[in-house]
């Protein structure tokens, strides 16, 4: 498909597909063959068998660029990133039951409020603190009057580097937070 004969919305989808192909990012609309698995294939016991998939990380945010950067850091940890915008993440979250969710909640820490409710529901069902949650924020802690305050296991301030985020991902995957 060429970008020359399509409208503005078509260009957005063309750019999204281009980014997905070049960077190998999994989104709700496509599966890249190099991952070697069906992204929506679920373990029948995932939601009610209380077992998160310790190899999967859900990356949620409105910024495609931030999702790509974070996914590359997650891949360096030997994990499988799954990138979604907040509306798609809410749908995918119970299907994959990731061990870790990384939220880029935007400048006001409000972009991922609906996803936080889904994380809390999975934690109630599983009886433990999985999935763990990392908040990418402009502040050093989540806002005290939001759902993020009781859900976030770690905060990484923006702008972040690989050296800041990778150890936090490793820690939360390897050692689950206390219940």
- Residue ranges of alpha helices (H) inside the chain are 8-23, 64-76, 86-96, 113-126, 147-151, 162-174
Where in the sequence is the domain holding 57, given as residue range(s)?
52-179
Print burial letters for 6-19: b (CB count within 10 Å at least 16), e (below 16).
eeeeeeeeeeeeeb
DSSP symbol at 25: -
Helix (H, G, I), strand (E, B) or coil at 165: helix
Largest interatomic CA distance in the chain? 55
Instruction: Answer whether residue 112 is part of any domain.
Output: yes
Confidence of residue 132 (pLDDT cuts 50, 70, 90): very high
Q: What is the number of domains present in the chain?
A: 1
Confidence of residue 50 (pLDDT cuts 50, 70, 90): low
Question: Which CATH number do you get for residue 136?
Answer: 3.40.50.2300
Instruction: Answer whether residue 14 is part of any domain.
Output: no
* Between 29 and 137, the higher pLDDT residue: 137
Instruction: Answer whether residue 11 is part of any domain.
Output: no
Q: What are 4-29's pLDDT values in tens digits?
A: 444 444 433 433 444 444 445 455 44
Instruction: Answer whether residue 173 is part of any domain.
Output: yes
* Between 97 and 48, the higher pLDDT residue: 97
Is the whole-model pTM more than 0.75?
no
Instruction: Answer whether residue 175 is part of any domain.
Output: yes
Instruction: Answer whether residue 97 is part of any domain.
Output: yes
Instruction: Answer whether residue 41 is part of any domain.
Output: no
pLDDT beyond 90 at 66: yes
pLDDT beyond 70 at 47: no
Instruction: Answer whether residue 37 is part of any domain.
Output: no
């Amino acid at each position: 498909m060429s970008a020359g004969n399509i409208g503005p919305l078509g260009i957005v989808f063309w750019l999204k597909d281009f980014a997905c192909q070049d960077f190998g990012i999994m989104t709700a609309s496509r599966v890249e063959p190099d991952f070697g698995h069906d992204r929506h294939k679920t373990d029948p016991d995932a939601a009610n068998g209380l077992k998160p998939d310790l190899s999967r990380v859900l990356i949620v945010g409105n910024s495609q660029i931030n999702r790509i950067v974070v996914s590359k850091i997650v891949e360096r940890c030997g994990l499988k990133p799954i990138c979604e915008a907040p509306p798609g993440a809410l749908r995918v979250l119970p299907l994959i039951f990731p061990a870790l969710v990384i939220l880029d909640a935007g400048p006001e820490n409000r972009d991922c409020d609906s996803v936080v409710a889904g994380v809390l529901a999975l934690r109630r069902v599983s009886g433990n603190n999985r999935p763990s949650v990392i908040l990418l924020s402009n502040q050093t802690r989540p806002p005290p009057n939001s759902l993020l305050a009781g859900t976030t296991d770690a905060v990484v301030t923006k702008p972040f580097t690989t050296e800041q985020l990778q150890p936090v991902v490793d820690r939360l995957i390897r050692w689950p937070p206390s219940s």
